[in-house]
């Protein structure tokens, strides 16, 4: 249910953009969902639809999945999270705060926990589309 | 690409009356003990108080509080912090399983933003934040993201510690961030230098705490902590925070 908090954040950020761009109605909200945070897409979509302000009543929420890619700062190795086995408790901890990945994941090549999350960390608002006020 | 999390932070904090960061220029000056004692003392006075450990790489307030294993945030449209010794308590340790958290600056910022964006505090009168030492990411992020932030600065009688206090105090002054005052921990008998130098910075000297060897045995026992010299002095200066 932590997805609700993230949905609230997306709608607040999208509303700020809509106001700045003087949109009368938002028709599309494009969101990137990073693999590392492991957000439950359907709960997230449900929360967005439940919480959306009136300006979003016709809006479609479109998701793009961003695979998590990690880069070791020690040896330069790049690897994908999908190739790493994590137990459910670890996945849940990372779901709440993706940075705790540094407590559980190590570079498969050199064993260092000093890596960069180059993509696929969490939720990002890519863009919104809508109709301007006349 | 827009990070949506920063948009919701002011909403999450709007029901909190005052947010006080307990900070220092150097580590090892007793920030965590003073932050925890301050939070406990305000709660003992009947105030609704939260304690947030922002020292992600070296957290200790959970040890000071004797956090039971059973205490975990509840998931309800965000994270609801559990109540520990009368305080709503949040820390990264709930999610690191007591493992090291080797975080660089950008990771620290991201974890801080995530927790500020998803933690649902109740209607608190005070949120006390235990800061990491120095003027790094946590200080800069709080100034950027938390409009009502105020600081208490902790030092020791050491000239080296106070040298770093000056840097922190000057930064906060330049950025027009309110500083409640300076607390001198492990004060030596008769020493007045820190009090004098604090006043030279145009800051309030909140008081000096003598070294108390009983503090070590009170760690993990909040009721024992409230009988130490730290608590006695915190009780004195809390009236200037909570008149």
Q: Which residues from B are below 8 Å from A9, CB to CB?
A: 4-5, 7-8, 117
pLDDT of the residue at B210:
93
Q: Which residues from B are below 8 Å from A89, CB to CB?
A: 97
Cβ burial, residue B181 (10 Å; 0-12/13-18/19+): middle
Categorize the per-residue pLDDT at B239 as very low, low, confident or very high, splitting at 50, 70 and 90. confident
Q: What is the mean pLDDT of residues B148-165?
A: 96
* pLDDT at A69 exceeding the cut of 90: yes
pLDDT of the residue at B243:
65
Look up the ipTM and state it.
0.94
Angular region, B120: left φ>0, alpha ψ -120 to 50, beta rest = beta
Q: How far apart (Å, rounded) are the C-alpha atoms in residues B142 and B109?
A: 10
* pLDDT at B199 exceeding the cut of 80: yes
Among the residue ranges A27-31, B130-134, B234-238, the one predicted with the least confidence is: B234-238
Q: What is the mean pLDDT of residues B13-20?
A: 97
Residue numbers of A between 25 and 64 with CB closer than 8 Å to B: 32, 47
Q: Does A96 touch chain B (CB under 8 A)?
A: yes
Q: What is the mean pLDDT of residues B159-186?
A: 96
- Interface contact A14-B4, CB threshold 8 A: yes
Categorize the per-residue pLDDT at B240 as very low, low, confident or very high, splitting at 50, 70 and 90. confident
- Interface contact B101-A102, CB threshold 8 A: yes
B89: which residues sit within 8 A by CB, 6+ positions away?
A: B50, B51, B52, B61, B62, B65, B67, B71, B81, B82, B83
pLDDT of the residue at A1:
65
Categorize the per-residue pLDDT at B191 as very low, low, confident or very high, splitting at 50, 70 and 90. confident
- Interface contact B99-A14, CB threshold 8 A: no
Among the residue ranges A127-131, B20-24, B198-202, B234-238, the one predicted with the least confidence is: B234-238
pLDDT of the residue at A118:
96
CA distances from B210 to B80, B173, B220 (A): 37, 28, 21
Residues A98-127, buried b or exposed e (16+ Cβ, 10 A)? bbbbbbbbebeeeeebebebebbbbbbbee
Instruction: List, for residues B126-150, the tens digit of each pLDDT value.
Output: 999 999 999 999 999 999 999 999 9
State how far residue A133 is from chain B, nearest Cα, in angstroms.
23
- Give the phi and the psi of residue B180 in degrees, each rounded to 5: -70, -40
CB B7 within 8 A of CB A13: yes
Q: What is the mean pLDDT of residues B94-100?
A: 94
Q: What is the mean pLDDT of residues B72-93?
A: 97
pLDDT of the residue at A83:
82
CA distances from B174 to B9, B167, B198 (A): 24, 11, 17
User: Tokens 């910022």 — which residue?
Assistant: B109
Q: Whose CA is closest to B60, among B24, B104, B30, B19?
A: B30
Eight-state DSSP code of residue A56: G
Instruction: List, for residues A43-64, the tens digit of each pLDDT value.
Output: 999 999 999 999 999 999 999 9
* pLDDT at B25 exceeding the cut of 70: yes
Instruction: List, for residues A10-21, the tens digit of each pLDDT value.
Output: 999 999 999 999
Categorize the per-residue pLDDT at B189 as very low, low, confident or very high, splitting at 50, 70 and 90. confident
Instruction: Pull the structure tokens for residue B146.
Output: 């938390």
Query: Domains plus CATH for chain B?
Result: 5-237 (3.40.50.300)
Categorize the per-residue pLDDT at A134 as very low, low, confident or very high, splitting at 50, 70 and 90. confident
pLDDT of the residue at A2:
85
**A/B interface, count of CB pairs below 8 Å:** 107
Instruction: List, for residues B43-77, the tens digit of each pLDDT value.
Output: 999 999 999 999 999 999 999 999 999 999 999 99
Average pLDDT over all residues of chain A: 95
pLDDT of the residue at A116:
97
Q: Which residues pair with A78 in a beta bridge?
A: A71
Task: Return the percentage of chain B with pLDDT > 70, whole number.
Answer: 99
pLDDT of the residue at B51:
98
Nearest-Cα residue of chain B relative to residue A31 = B1
- Interface contact B111-A10, CB threshold 8 A: no
Q: What is the mean pLDDT of residues B35-48?
A: 97
């Amino acid at each position: 249910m932590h997805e609700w908090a993230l949905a609230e954040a997306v709608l607040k950020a999208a509303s700020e953009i809509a106001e700045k761009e003087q949109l009368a109605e938002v028709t599309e909200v494009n969101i990137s969902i990073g693999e590392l945070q492991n957000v439950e897409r359907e709960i997230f979509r449900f929360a967005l639809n439940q919480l959306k302000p009136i300006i979003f009543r016709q809006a479609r929420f479109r998701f793009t999945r961003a695979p998590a890619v990690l880069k070791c700062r020690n040896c330069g190795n790049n690897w994908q999270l999908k190739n790493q086995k994590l137990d459910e408790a670890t996945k849940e901890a990372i779901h709440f705060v993706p940075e705790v990945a540094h407590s559980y994941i190590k570079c498969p090549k050199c064993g260092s926990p000093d890596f960069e999350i180059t993509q696929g960390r969490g939720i990002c608002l890519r863009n919104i589309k809508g109709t301007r006020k006349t | 690409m827009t990070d949506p999390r920063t948009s919701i932070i002011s909403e999450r904090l709007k029901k909190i009356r005052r947010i006080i960061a307990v900070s220092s220029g150097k580590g090892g000056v007793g920030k965590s003990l003073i932050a925890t004692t301050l939070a406990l003392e305000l709660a003992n006075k009947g105030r609704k108080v939260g304690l947030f450990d922002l020292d992600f790489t070296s957290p200790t307030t959970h040890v000071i509080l004797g956090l039971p294993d059973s205490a975990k945030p509840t998931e309800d449209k965000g994270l609801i912090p559990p109540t520990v010794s009368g305080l709503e308590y949040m820390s990264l340790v709930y999610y690191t399983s007591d493992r090291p958290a080797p975080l660089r600056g950008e990771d620290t910022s991201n974890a801080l933003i995530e927790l500020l964006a998803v933690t649902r505090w109740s209607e608190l009168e005070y949120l006390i934040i235990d800061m990491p030492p120095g003027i790094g990411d946590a200080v800069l992020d709080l100034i950027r993201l938390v409009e009502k932030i105020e600081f208490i600065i902790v030092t020791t009688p050491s000239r080296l510690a106070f040298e770093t206090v000056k840097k922190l105090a000057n930064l906060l002054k330049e950025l027009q961030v309110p500083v409640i005052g300076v607390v001198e921990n492990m004060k030596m008998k008769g020493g007045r230098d820190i009090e004098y130098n604090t006043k030279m910075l145009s800051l309030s000297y909140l008081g000096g705490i003598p070294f108390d060897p009983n503090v070590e045995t009170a760690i993990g026992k909040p009721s024992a902590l409230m009988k130490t010299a730290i608590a006695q002095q915190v009780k004195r200066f809390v009236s200037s925070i909570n008149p």
